[in-house]
Amino acid sequence: MARLILQQGKERPVLRRHPWIFAGSVDHLDGRARPGDTVEVLSHDGKLLGRAAWSPESQIRARMWSFDADTSIDHAFFKRRVADCVARRMAHPHLRGQDGLRLIHGESDGLPGVIADRFGPVVVVQLTSAGADKWREAIVAGLKQATGCTAVYERSDSEVRKLEGLEPVSGLLDGELPASLSIVENGVRMEVDVVGGHKTGFYLDQRDNRLLTGQLAAGRSVLNCFCYTGGFSLQALAGGAASVLSIDSSGPALATGARNLALNPQLDASRAEWMEADVFEALRSLRAEGRTFDLIILDPPKFAPSAAHAQRASRAYRDINILGFRLLNPGGILMTYSCSGGIGQELFQSIVASSAVDAGVEARIIHRLSAAADHPIGLSVPEGEYLKGLACQVG
């Protein structure tokens, strides 16, 4: 096994159990290792710190599998760790019995570069690091054993794989996909497209926030921006919204939203309106028309994938939140989100606060919003807190 020797003084993050070792922290590699191979990690003075996956193409040169130097990284290791991840979800009262569930959440679950989502009988995996890619077979075997799923589908097609020197990969790994796939979330049935949908097929991280939306929507006029396939919209209808206008630039996503509505005959379809448009332009048009709403959801795509994009993204978040605040009725609520890793919670709140001032409204935070419990945040990996949101009431 090759040995990765850290530069003098660069062992502190590893000692604090942060799993990433950046290129600037590496002194040299003693021995030969291929992408994804396991290497021993040593401090500059020779102290063995654990074992990691080597990734020579990435600025993150290694990702820690274990901070225990005696742990063997083999098939049994991955089966145990996958089983532990699934068991933690099954022990959580809010997660047990969910049709759609994140089973593995990367670094925060001790499996860097591994994402696994379950949708009923199907598990979708996304492998974004060289180490995860190398141990694909063991990870899939662990998921099958721990879940009893009938199919495993891979969606390792994210841009981040390029940073690891990996090609995008998608396809069926085990079993057979059902002709159609749907889940029931908080009493609402939703289609899941594991082959062509965003990410793994569905945004599970917003489950709790969609439930809150339904609770806040009773009797209100609702505007759902960047609605994708209508998750927030249908929860608002289920909660008794008077009307719901859903806007997205994707016609196919809106068509799926309409199909999702049809899957739920208990919901009043006459209260739903779907609009294909650029959200920024649509909000300006709605303001020009004098339309206003009681509850507005802003859940845009990732404006800042890294801190390097933060300044440009801040302007986009500021613009969209000013438009949202200006369209609220007195007493109205703005539920606004950022899924950008390059925008921290403090910066996001500052952006929303300045947007309220520029919009000429008084606003207060009534809820802080984050990802559901199946998307844990490792205390040693604060970078895992990508989703943040605020529910702000005006007037």
Find the catalytic residue in 85, 149, 225, 339: 339
Under the banding of pLDDT at 50, 70 and 90, the label for residue 307 is: low
Tokens of 2: 């090759």
pLDDT, one tens digit per residue, over 4-14 is 999 999 999 99
Confidence of residue 375 (pLDDT cuts 50, 70, 90): very high
Provide the whole-model pTM. Answer: 0.94
Per-chain mean pLDDT for the chain: 96
Is 225 among the residues known to form the active site?
A: no
Which domains does the chain carry?
3-66 (2.30.130.10), 75-182 (3.30.750.80), 203-394 (3.40.50.150)
Distance, in Å, from the CA atom of 121 to the CA atom of 181, rounded to the nearest integer, reads: 9
Which pLDDT score is estimated for 308?
67
pLDDT digits (tens, 9 = 90+) for 114-173: 999 999 999 999 999 999 999 999 999 999 999 999 999 999 999 899 999 999 999 999
- Identify the pLDDT of residue 43: 97
